[in-house]
């Protein structure tokens, strides 16, 4: 039978897997178990919402079987299964082409680590297996199919026999080589440890036949007994007591759930039982996903109703300005059957969303206060989003966000919050000064900053396009207005020098007139300036828009 070829992208990924020197090969098991669990979620959800289907809780499980003699490791699930077409589409191509785009981008930097960061799902099985045999029967179908592949040279799909609905994956475990050990993936105790490590909170039992020595009945003699055991504790992490969970547990959940391929910077475990009852685990990622600042990025939290996943990305749970937050929410107050449209109007969900918004704000404020380094890391990845949040919706959310902003300050070029800026202002300083430019180096060359710095005032350096727009929305912070160093009136006390410059202006009128004529159409007027020190000239803006803002608006596509 003719072999079908993998899609080009899949083939490359496969080759990466097969030749992987990645040390944490063990994650393949997490990937396969997670797929099995997703498949059971799907059928369980169907059963709960469809009266025609009757299933018992005991029907849902994942079984792992190691066979040393034949060098096979088998993962069986009672999930929704795959049709012939689904076998073709799901296993022959990469579901998330986005991840591959990201991989390509990063490949050059570090070809090997990527696999570890990614966990690329099903294909990771090829890190430890020479051949995969997937037999599956889909719900509602009476035919089963078998997908076989020994790697990059393609796969076949043929009709097969299988009793129940679900999927069975037989892995032919590689032989040990001089440098690499594979035998361990056939050792029940090793497998059990891997399951405990990554998949403990999977909601369905992960069963394994374990051999142990037990005394024979009525005698001291030991005998070998094989017992089927459930390896995982099954209690979802969000239902467990915070005090019993470690940082590692939360990180493991983050990876298992594929919330991101980085490590979370911070997590928050919420168990709310006030006006609205829910559990949530919220994460702040360490890095912005590769598509974060693009239209492709979709925000949202996983939504569970009483432990059953009802939506993978519920966008209504997060305001746009916190779109970077990952995680899940489980509430008993939500109906399983609820549709997307109804959900939008659900009162409970609105309450949860509001509650979560405040939790996130609190989490960020706490970080800013107590974990400055972490906060700055967060801010480098997602600060822009907060600034967009201030600017968007006519500044409606600035109250929630302005305390969270940081800007580079002229003082030691460190990040400073508005509150910190104000608290160290000299008494005679009236305004919060800022200067805009492409980079700090460029700003530091601006003639306009000298006078302000000379007064001993601090200047916020705006290097992000959005900065000045956001600040215009805030208008003033703790009763202090913002002032651009290039605005007409700097609010710095007039003094003898100023009088001198007035005199200078009058004395040199013919010169200024001549200059103005030369620059006609380019500048509005030429004046003597009282704010220059070591520079001969500077540009200043008079209207609402600064020169920088005009530049940005002009550069924007219409």
Answer whether 281's CB lies under 8 Å from 327's CB.
yes
Nearer to ligand ADP by C-beta: 78 or 487? 78
**Strand runs (DSSP E) across 263-354, as ranges?**
264-273, 277-285, 301-305, 308-314, 326-331
Q: Binding residue per annotation — 340? A: yes
Task: Output the smallest distance, CB 95 to ligand ADP, in A.
Answer: 4
Number of DSSP helices (H) and strands (E) in the chain, helices first? 18, 19
Answer whether 401's CB lies under 8 Å from 321's CB.
yes
Distances from the Cα of 547 to the Cαs of 378, 461, 485, 531, 539, in angstroms?
A: 30, 15, 11, 17, 8
Q: Binding residue per annotation — 122? A: yes
How far apart CA 28 and CA 171 sit, in angstroms, is 11
DSSP letter assigned to residue 179: S
Q: Binding residue per annotation — 384? A: no
Task: Output the smallest distance, CB 99 to ligand ADP, in A.
Answer: 8
Closest residue by beta carbon to Mg ion: 121
Nearer to ligand ADP by C-beta: 43 or 386? 43
Per partner kind, with CB cut-offs from 5 to 8 A, the member of Mg ion, ligand ADP, none near residue 383 is none
Of the candidate spans 32-40, 66-74, 271-279, 299-307, the one that interacts with Mg ion by CB under 5 A turns out to be: 32-40
Nearer to ligand ADP by C-beta: 158 or 344? 158
Tokens of 540: 């200043």
Tokens of 324: 């970077």
Nearer to ligand ADP by C-beta: 144 or 416? 144
Per partner kind, with CB cut-offs from 5 to 8 A, the member of ligand ADP, Mg ion, none near residue 104 is none
Task: Output the smallest distance, CB 448 to Mg ion, in A.
Answer: 55
Centre a 10 Å sphere on the Cβ of residue 12 and count the other Cβ atoms it contains. 17
Q: Binding residue per annotation — 98? A: yes
Of the candidate spans 81-89, 120-128, 134-142, 223-231, the one that interacts with Mg ion by CB under 5 A turns out to be: 120-128
Task: Output the smallest distance, CB 382 to Mg ion, in A.
Answer: 26
DSSP letter assigned to residue 174: P
Task: Kindly state the number of chain residues that form the binding site for Mg ion, as judged by CB under 5 A.
Answer: 2
Per partner kind, with CB cut-offs from 5 to 8 A, the member of ligand ADP, Mg ion, none near residue 82 is ligand ADP
User: What three-state secondary structure class fits 92?
Assistant: helix
Sole binder of Mg ion in the list 20, 26, 28, 35 (CB under 5 A): 35
Tokens of 486: 């290039």
CB-count burial class (<10 Å; 0-12, 13-18, 19+) for 159? exposed
Centre a 10 Å sphere on the Cβ of residue 18 and count the other Cβ atoms it contains. 16
Task: Output the smallest distance, CB 120 to Mg ion, in A.
Answer: 9
Answer whether 436's CB lies under 8 Å from 464's CB.
no
Q: Binding residue per annotation — 35? A: yes
**Contact residues for ligand ADP (CB under 6 A)?**
31, 35-36, 39, 77, 79-80, 82, 90-91, 95-96, 121-122, 167
Task: Output the smallest distance, CB 119 to ligand ADP, in A.
Answer: 8
Among 153, 135, 152, which residue's Cα sits nearest to residue 144?
135
Q: Binding residue per annotation — 119? A: yes
Nearer to Mg ion by C-beta: 38 or 450? 38
Cα Rg of the chain (Å, integer): 31
Closest residue by beta carbon to ligand ADP: 121
Q: Binding residue per annotation — 120? A: yes
Nearer to Mg ion by C-beta: 94 or 404? 94
> Where is 77: in which H helix or E strand?
strand 72-77
Q: Binding residue per annotation — 395? A: no
How far apart CA 35 and CA 19 sit, in angstroms, is 23
Residue 119 interacting with Mg ion (CB under 5 A): no
Per partner kind, with CB cut-offs from 5 to 8 A, the member of Mg ion, ligand ADP, none near residue 392 is none
Sole binder of Mg ion in the list 121, 188, 205, 437 (CB under 5 A): 121
Answer whether 155's CB lies under 8 Å from 6's CB.
yes
Q: Binding residue per annotation — 512? A: no
- Residue ranges of the annotated binding site for ATP are 31, 35, 77, 82, 90, 96-98, 117-122, 167, 340
Annotated binding residues, written as ranges, equal 31, 35, 77, 82, 90, 96-98, 117-122, 167, 340
């Amino acid at each position: 039978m003719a072999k079908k070829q993998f899609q080009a992208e899949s083939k490359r990924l496969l080759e990466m897997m097969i030749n992987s020197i990645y040390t944490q090969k063990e994650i393949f098991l997490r990937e396969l178990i997670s797929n099995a669990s997703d498949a059971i979620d799907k059928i369980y959800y169907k059963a709960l919402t469809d009266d025609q289907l009757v299933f018992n809780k005991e029907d849902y499980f994942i079984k792992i079987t190691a066979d040393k003699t034949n060098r096979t490791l088998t993962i069986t699930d009672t999930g929704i299964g795959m049709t012939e077409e689904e076998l073709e589409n799901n296993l022959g191509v990469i579901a998330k082409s986005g991840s591959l785009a990201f991989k390509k981008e990063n490949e050059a930097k570090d070809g090997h680590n990527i696999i570890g960061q990614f966990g690329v799902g099903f294909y990771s099985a090829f890190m430890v297996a020479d051949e995969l045999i997937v037999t599956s029967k889909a719900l509602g179908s009476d035919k089963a199919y078998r997908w076989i592949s020994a790697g990059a040279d393609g796969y076949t799909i043929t009709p097969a026999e299988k009793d129940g609905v679900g999927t069975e994956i037989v892995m032919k475990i590689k032989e040990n080589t001089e440098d690499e050990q594979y035998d361990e993936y056939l050792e029940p105790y090793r497998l059990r440890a891997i399951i405990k490590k990554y998949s403990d909170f999977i909601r369905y039992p992960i069963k394994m036949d374990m051999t142990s020595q037990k005394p024979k009945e009525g005698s001291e003699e030991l005998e070998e007994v094989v017992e089927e055991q459930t390896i995982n504790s099954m209690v979802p992490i969000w239902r467990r007591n915070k005090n019993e969970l470690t940082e590692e547990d939360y990180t493991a959940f983050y990876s298992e759930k594929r919330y991101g391929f980085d490590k979370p910077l911070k997590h928050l475990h919420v168990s709310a039982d006030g006006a609205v009852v829910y559990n949530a685990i919220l994460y702040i990622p360490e890095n912005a996903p590769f598509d974060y600042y693009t239209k492709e990025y979709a925000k949202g939290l996983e939504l569970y109703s009483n432990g059953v996943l009802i939506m993978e990305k519920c966008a209504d749970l997060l305001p746009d300005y916190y779109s970077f937050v990952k995680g899940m929410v489980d509430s008993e107050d939500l109906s399983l059957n609820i549709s997307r449209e109804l959900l939008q109007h659900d009162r409970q969900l609105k309450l949860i969303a509001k509650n979560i918004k405040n939790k996130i704000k609190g989490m960020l404020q706490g970080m800013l206060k107590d974990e400055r380094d972490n906060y700055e890391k967060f801010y480098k990845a997602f600060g822009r989003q907060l600034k967009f949040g201030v600017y968007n919706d006519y500044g409606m959310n600035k109250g929630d966000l302005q305390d969270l902003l940081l800007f580079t300050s002229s003082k030691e070029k460190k990040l400073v919050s508005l509150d910190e800026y104000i608290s160290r202002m000299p008494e005679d300083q009236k305004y919060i000064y800022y200067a805009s430019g492409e980079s700090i180096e460029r700003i530091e060359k601006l003639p306009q900053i000298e006078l302000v710095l000379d007064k001993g005032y601090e200047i916020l350096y705006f290097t992000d396009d959005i900065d000045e727009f956001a600040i215009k929305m805030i208008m003033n912070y703790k009763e202090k207005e913002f002032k651009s160093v290039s605005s007409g009136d700097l609010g710095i006390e007039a003094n003898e020098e100023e009088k001198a410059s007035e005199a200078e202006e009058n004395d040199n009128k013919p010169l200024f007139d001549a200059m103005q004529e030369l620059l006609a159409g380019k500048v509005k007027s030429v004046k003597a300036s009282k704010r220059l020190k070591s520079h001969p000239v500077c540009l200043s803006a008079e209207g609402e828009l600064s020169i920088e803002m005009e530049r940005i608006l002009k550069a924007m596509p219409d």
